[in-house]
Chains A and B, each alone.
Chain A
Amino acid sequence: MLDAILLTPIAEIMAFPPFFFEVLIGGLLTGVMYALVALGFVLIFKASGVFNFSQGAMVLFAALTFVGLEDMGVPLILALVVTAAVMVAFAFAVERAVLRPLVGQAPITLFMATIGITFFLDGFGLTLWGSEVRRLDIGIPAEPLVIGDLFLNGFDVVAAAVCGALVLTLALFFQYTATGRALRAVADDHTAAMSVGIPLKVIWTIVWSVAGLAGLVAGIMWGAKLGVQPSLALIALKALPVLILGGFTSVPGAILGGLIIGAGEAVFEVFWVGLHGGASQDWFAYMLAMVVLLFRPQGLFGEKIIERV
């Protein structure tokens, strides 16, 4: 038993290191895609303190709308613009119909409300566009990249690059624009931000829009990788443990959390459970997050949770 857990997998890794690195890098690249989804969560949590369970549904909805428009013969760029507009409209609707009436409620109530939004959005998207699996081709080459001894999935490399670009854009947006500064002010202290004249409602709409756009990018990348289908929302759910690991309030934490979980589950699946049934990706991330929570409740990079009476 101990042998199967400790010795054999290590021996396998030692026997042929390039394969281990292939698995590891493949996992890291998947992790980047998790981070892409997790980013949307972090944005909303930072700016409004709402833990947005519906980010996964937003990813699915954006992907469904995009691929649906494309199937209708709308050109790629136009479909992209229209979907982005739809996500912004959705942000307006959420702010108006859900957030505003629930202002001042306990965070857990808002959390449950976002579960409601999740169901609504899933149902709405599927009613509108149907639930069959759709292929999404955005012209990224799928042939493997060969670097030295390693075979890498070309698509994953491109996805990682897109994610990197998105993170950089967001970082610059937060750092250098007036809106970005206002967002950071709201994240820091709602009341103080309001007292210096930052319109809270506008900020919330903006931040949900940005999260929707991040969801659109994530949806397109995941959709191109796996096809656009309802189970996309379940993959997006995995952004939750990513966040727990990285800390809710930290953008670098989301990225690093994604990398750790992506790499961890790939290595764990291939070397530890591969022969005993497999499919450990379903739960590995959640278990890891739970163990981390036991020892470090604020995650790796989150701000320490201080409770005041």
Chain B
Amino acid sequence: MFYLETGQYKTSYAKDQQIFPLVQDRVGMVVILLVAFVAIPLLSSNYWLSTIMLPFLIYSLAAIGLNILTGYAGQLSLGTGGFMATGAFAAYKLTTAFPELHFVLVLILAGVITAFVGVLFGLPSLRIKGFYLAVATLAAQFFLVWLYNKNPWFTNYSASGVISAPPREVVPGVVVTGASGTPEAKYYFVLVLVVVLAWMAKNMARSKMGRAWMAIRDMDIAAEIIGIRPAATKLTAFAVSSFYIGIAGALWAFTYTGSVEALAFEINVSFDVLFMIIIGGLGTILGGFLGAAFIILFPIALNQSLLAMGLQNAIELASHLEFMIMGALIVTFLILEPHGLARLWQIFKQKLRTWPFPY
């Protein structure tokens, strides 16, 4: 009874097609945005903003990107880390070659470059699928990270190979990258980008393109027969997905870590993002956020509980335990709730709708 759609009439096509047709969803969205834009910056410390909220938002963006490819279009990819590195280095090269270029434009161009690279490595998907494709995308992961690591052109011939992100402003006087940006500025900048991109992703997923992705995922042969071009559909999925992941990679290097280095994007990043979308929910935008929150908060909670149990020098143990519990969780989720946390949220909404009656 808290979530009834009864009585909400759609009297125009525009109303029928709006992104959140229910008034409860719209109110909920406004509340979430108010919390994100007002409450969190007011209530949380700088530490919380820069070490938890920033990676959460950036990982959410990467998870949305991978979810477009794996969750919506059904193409399993283990190359996320490589594509994130591509975005980071593209942004670095662009912003050092053209320091006057606005940073948002730099990010968009970095995303476009990553999209091209993604399409290149997506070409095998035209002939193979499933785990064959997963192995092919491993090539992207290992090759790209190696390329940026070993080729000094990408690091502007810096001696150590580790380069700090140059400070860049979005509006005059507000630095959002590197060490000199304040956590609040970085947080707002990333938040605005994530909100806009998530909104675009949500709309793409319910457009003709998104439906084509889902048709290819559910059964490629049937999709082809009803007139969906498999090559174009798969490659647009790779392009859009890599665009998102590239921007996430650039943000990771420029706002979160503050240094651009290839080794920050090792294969574990690929697995982390894959786990986010499995735990969060394949084929949902909400799942990206839920999964990212889980993967970011879980190790912290584990560390805290180990400390609370009196295990002092338990950092190594915690990281091993984290691996172990994460693996067990993945298997558990695949067995019990293959649709992830987003599905639990749907079940909860149904409960709200019918409460206090069971159906």
Q: Answer whether A and B are interacting partners.
A: yes
A-side residues, CB < 8 A to B, are: 51, 53, 97-98, 101-102, 105, 107-109, 111-113, 115-124, 126-127, 130-131, 234, 237, 240-241, 243-244, 276-280, 282-283, 286-287, 289-290, 293-294, 297, 307, 309
Q: A131-B320, A287-B139, A290-B139 are in contact. Are A107 and B131 (CB under 8 A)?
A: yes
Q: Is the CB of A120 within 8 A of B139?
A: no
Cα distance, A289 to B143, chains bound together (Å): 12
Additional A-B contact list (12), CB under 8 Å, known A119-B327, A280-B146, A286-B142: A107-B130, A113-B330, A113-B334, A120-B331, A244-B135, A277-B151, A283-B139, A286-B139, A290-B121, A293-B124, A297-B132, A309-B221
Interface residue B22 (Cβ < 8 Å from any Cβ of A) = no
Chain A residues near B123: list those with CB within 8 A: 294
Residues of A contacting B327 with CB < 8 Å?
A: 115-123
Determine which residue in A53, A112, A123 has the highest number of CB atoms from chain B within 10 A of its CB, and name it.
A112
The yes or no answer to B278 lying at the interface (CB within 8 A) is: yes
Tell me which residues across on chain A come within 8 A of B278, comparing CB atoms.
112
**Cα-based distance from A107 to B130 in the complex (angstroms):** 8
Judge whether B271 and A278 touch: CB under 8 Å: no
Minimum CB–CB distance for B66 against chain A, Å: 13
User: How far, in angstroms, from A122 to B274 measured CA to CA in the complex?
Assistant: 17
Residues of B within 8 A of A286 (CB): 135-136, 138-139, 141-143
Contacting A307 at CB < 8 Å: which of B136, B142, B221, B320? B221
A-B contact pairs, 22 of them (CB 8 A): A53-B131, A98-B331, A109-B338, A113-B334, A116-B331, A119-B326, A120-B324, A120-B326, A130-B316, A244-B136, A276-B150, A279-B146, A283-B146, A286-B143, A289-B135, A289-B136, A290-B124, A290-B136, A293-B135, A293-B136, A297-B127, A297-B132
A122 contacts which chain B residues (CB < 8 A)? 323-324, 327
What residues on B are CB-neighbors of A290 within 8 Å? 121, 124, 135-136, 139
Q: Are B325 and A123 in contact (CB under 8 A)?
A: yes
- Contact residues in A for B322 (Cβ distance below 8 Å): 123
Category for how many chain B residues contact A: 35 or more
Residues of A within 8 A of B138 (CB): 237, 240-241, 286
What is B's interface to A at a CB cutoff of 8 Å?
76, 121, 123-124, 127-128, 130-132, 134-136, 138-139, 141-143, 145-146, 150-151, 221-222, 267, 271, 274, 278, 316-317, 320-331, 334-335, 338
Cα–Cα, bound, A2→B321 (Å): 50
Q: How far is the CA of A295 from the CA of B323 in the complex (A)?
A: 37
Would A115 and B274 count as touching, CB distance under 8 A?
Answer: yes
* Residue among B278, B316, B329, B335 having the largest count of chain A Cβ atoms under 10 Å: B335
Is B150 touching A127 in the complex (CB atoms < 8 A)? Answer: no
Question: Quick one: closest A residue to B268, CB to CB?
Answer: A119
Report the separation of the CA atoms of residues A119 and B221 in the bound assembly, to the nearest whole angstrom: 34
Pairwise interchain contact A282-B334, C-beta atoms closer than 8 A = no
Nearest opposing residue in chain B for A97, CB measure: B331
Where chain A touches its partner, the secondary structure class is helix
A131 to B132, CA, bound (A): 31
A128 to chain B: closest residue by CB: B320
Of the candidates A101, A282, A297, which one forms a contact with B146 in the assembled complex, judged by CB atoms under 8 Å apart? A282
User: Are B143 and A112 neighbours in the complex by a CB distance under 8 Å?
Assistant: no
Would B127 and A293 count as touching, CB distance under 8 A? yes
A120 touches B221 (CB 8 A): no
A127 touching B130 by the CB < 8 A rule? no
Docked-complex contact B143 and A287, CB < 8 angstroms: yes
Cα separation A289 to B320 with both chains bound (whole Å):
32
Contact across chains for A297 and B128 when beta carbons are under 8 A apart:
yes
Which A residues touch B130, using CB under 8 A?
A: 51, 107-108, 111
Check B142 against A120 for contact (C-beta < 8 Å): no
Of the candidates B132, B325, B326, B330, the one whose C-beta lies within 8 Å of that of A293 is: B132
How far in angstroms is the closest Cβ of chain A from B90? 19
- Cα distance A101–B151 in the bound complex, in angstroms: 47
Q: Is the beta-carbon distance between A278 and B330 smaller than 8 angstroms?
A: no
Q: A123-B324, A293-B127, A297-B128 are in contact. Are A116 and B334 (CB under 8 A)?
A: yes
Residues of B within 8 A of A109 (CB): 334, 338
Q: Which residues of A contact B146 (CB under 8 A)?
A: 279-280, 282-283
Q: Which residues of B contact A97 (CB under 8 A)?
A: 331
Min C-beta distance of B121 to chain A, whole Å: 8
Given A111-B130, A123-B322, A287-B143: A116 and B328 interface contact (C-beta under 8 Å): yes
**A-B interface, 10 closest residue pairs, ranked by CB to CB distance from nearest:** A123-B324, A123-B323, A120-B327, A119-B327, A116-B330, A277-B150, A286-B139, A283-B142, A283-B143, A116-B331
Whether the pair A293, B331 counts as a contact (CB closer than 8 A) is no
Query: A127 touching B317 by the CB < 8 A rule?
Result: yes
B323: nearest chain-A partner, CB-CB: A123
Question: Which partner residue on chain B sits nearest A244 by CB separation?
Answer: B135
Interfacial chain A residues near B142, Cβ < 8 Å: 282-283, 286
Contact B131 A111 (CB under 8 A): yes
What are the residues of chain A within 8 A of B317 when measuring CB–CB?
127
Least CB separation from B324: chain A residue: A123
Q: Is A119 a contact of B323 with CB atoms below 8 Å?
A: yes
Residues of B within 8 A of A105 (CB): 334, 338
Max chain B Cβ within 10 angstroms of own Cβ: one of A117, A118, A282: A282
Whole-angstrom distance from the CB of A38 to the nearest CB of chain B?
Answer: 12
Q: How far is the CA of A287 from the CA of B121 in the complex (A)?
A: 10
CB pair B331–A113 under 8 Å, yes or no, is yes
Residue in contact with A115 in the complex, picked from B121, B221, B222, B330, CB distance below 8 Å: B330
Instruction: List B contacts of A121 (CB < 8 A).
Output: 327
Name which of B76, B135, B145, B322 has the most chain A CB atoms within 10 A of its CB. Answer: B135
Minimum CB–CB distance from B68 to chain A (whole Å) comes to 17
Check if B150 sits within 8 Å of A102, measured CB to CB: no
Interface centre among A108, A113, A119 (most CB of B within 10 A): A119
B136 / chain A contacts, CB cutoff of 8 Å: 244, 286, 289-290, 293
Residues of B within 8 A of A118 (CB): 327
Measured CA separation A276–B147 after assembly (Å): 11
